[in-house]
Structure 1
């Protein structure tokens, strides 16, 4: 004899699941507001400004793709807690504008959701928390396994990599990553 769940119970479960998903997106949005303020204060003062008193990370850069109206504040590090609030600067990589690869990673369904709309040829602006501004040209993208990114840490140029999970519309995590590569075209220091 099959068991059925009553419609009110199904409705309650739906509301709870919807609320959980909405909470994640609301937290991401609010975090970016607080991170914007901390980033602006860092640029103005030249000091590290934490976005809230208990934060174990701080803003290090702002990424913008003006063609699509996208902007995100990048945090130092890629711990699970940091990535819940914004893109993270992968610690083993250089800072934006330095020789080598500056790599940033974020979740595909929040802070790097906009990567699906970035086209090869787009301009990506990065402003560091010290006020230095760098302009990059998106020149390639690839889908790779998480353990085989193909990123060469020994490059001699000034490059930028933005990484997120793939595919963009997946519901569960998987082994593939989307990598967007860009090369420096201008530095305004």
Structure 2
């Protein structure tokens, strides 16, 4: 014997669904606003460091600070065009730091030093753009000292998470970008890493 839902209960159900939907939308909007504001604070901290050469936390309770600004550049109509907005690299590649931006692995070289400089980022946010880069594209880095270093991508490849050769020190200046792979995998437990390797092609102290 079937039961029918009264008009009153029907509207209550619709109202509850609407409330839940609005709550989810508001939560999503809040998270987006929070992420954008965090980027503003990180950018401001980077600009302060350019002025006084001192590390500045983006917010008082942060356990990191910006150490570089990064751009990915691609060739379009005889000129280099940025792929996405500027990225601010944070000191340390902890899970907390990677939520706000790519992180410089402190075990590797720093910008301007000889050796393997390793920067990690999340595939579903800041390093999502790496799926579109190709050999020959450029990566532009600005240090907190105002130094500009331009790198050219020499190779992209995929390795298993247990392959640590990409983290090995190098005698020459080298840039390694790391993110999880594949890019379209919804699960957070990715076994593979997408690697972008680049070599410096020019360096000068002009910041713009």
**Superposed, which structure 2 residues align to 1:23-172 within 5 Å?**
23-66=30-73, 67=81, 68-151=83-166, 153-172=168-187
Q: Tell me, in whole angstroms, the C-alpha distance in 2 between the residues paired with 1:162 and 1:87.
A: 9
How far off its partner does 1:43 sit? Answer: 1.0
How far off its partner does 1:7 sit? Answer: 6.9
Is contact 1:28-1:111 (8 Å) kept? no
Is contact 1:77-1:91 (8 Å) kept? yes
Gaps of 5+ in 2: 1-12, 74-80
Is contact 1:83-1:106 (8 Å) kept? yes
- Cα gap change, 1:17 to 1:176, in 2 (>3 Å): farther
Residues 86-139 of structure 1, C-alpha deviation per residue, up to 9 Å, x if partnerless?
A: 111111100122111111111111111221222211111011112111100011
TM-score by length of 1: 0.86
How far off its partner does 1:29 sit? Answer: 2.5
Is contact 1:100-1:153 (8 Å) kept? no
Partner of 1:3: none
Q: Tell me, in whole angstroms, the C-alpha distance in 2 between the residues paired with 1:141 and 1:22.
A: 35
Count of paired positions: 184
Is contact 2:90-2:101 (8 Å) kept? yes
- Cα gap change, 1:177 to 1:47, in 2 (>3 Å): same
Gaps of 5+ in 1: 1-5
3-state SS of 2:67 partner: strand
Q: Tell me, in whole angstroms, the C-alpha distance in 2 between the residues paired with 1:43 and 1:162.
A: 24
